[in-house]
Structure 1
Amino acid sequence: MRDGYRFEFGALDEPDAPKVQALKPLEEAAEVYGAWQDCDDYRDCRIAAFCDELRRDLVDECMDVVQAVVSLLDAEGFTQEDVDAAIERCNERNRERGRL
């Protein structure tokens, strides 16, 4: 099992309106899927610089999702303790499902 990734993200300084804030992770997730499709389309590509750019675009889009989620959590007033507890519940669900 992988230990996981460790992120240090702050929330955006000026949160959007609540509905916009809630929709932002969905918008960013759609962009992740588009970037993944580009990577998948060129999975057998032998041009290293091109493949590196596609992978960089994918990880950048993934981080945009993380940023959007962190900002939503902050805008809704969740604390680090709330997030830690939710992570543990998520890990437990995944252990029960045999994913971890």
Structure 2
Amino acid sequence: MTVDGYLLNLRTFREVEDGKAQALKPLEEAAEVFGAWQELDSMRRSPFFSAWRDMRDDLIDECLDTVQATVNLLAAVGATQGEVDDAIRRMDERNGSRGRL
């Protein structure tokens, strides 16, 4: 399965702060992504499809929590949409040159 991308339109939290706690939040959320993936991976051969589906939903939720934490950090440091667009372009160029896109 190939996915071309996702359209994400996320609002930032009302209160964000350019501090250590805000900077650590994406890392904390990413660790929760890995934990959710481990749970899902442990159920790959399970006959209980509903449990697998719930764990898959948990993984997706944790992924989006990580994206939200990252968006909040961008807002906390005052990143503009133009700066984010430029960073996406640079990321796409790096990934393209590495054969990932």
**Paired residues for 1:67-86 under 5 Å:** 67-86=68-87
The answer to whether the aligner puts 1:10 opposite 2:11 as a matched pair is yes
Match of 1:40 in 2: 41
The 2-side partners of 1:13 and 1:89 are apart by 28
The answer to whether the aligner puts 1:26 opposite 2:27 as a matched pair is yes
The 2-side partners of 1:75 and 1:29 are apart by 19
The 2-side partners of 1:32 and 1:16 are apart by 23
Taking only aligned residues, the RMSD between alpha carbons, in angstroms, comes to 1.1
TM-score, normalised to structure 1, is: 0.95
- What is the CA distance between 1:46 and its match in structure 2? 2.0
Structure 2, unaligned stretches of length 5 or more?
none
The answer to whether the aligner puts 1:65 opposite 2:66 as a matched pair is yes
Counterpart code for 1:71:
N
Counterpart code for 1:96:
S
Q: Is the 8 A contact 2:29 2:66 kept in 1?
A: yes
- What is the CA distance between 1:44 and its match in structure 2? 1.1
- Larger CA deviation: 19-28 vs 2-11: 2-11
Structure 1, unaligned stretches of length 5 or more?
none
Q: Is the 8 A contact 2:39 2:55 kept in 1?
A: yes
Match of 1:95 in 2: 96
Q: How many residues are aligned here? A: 100
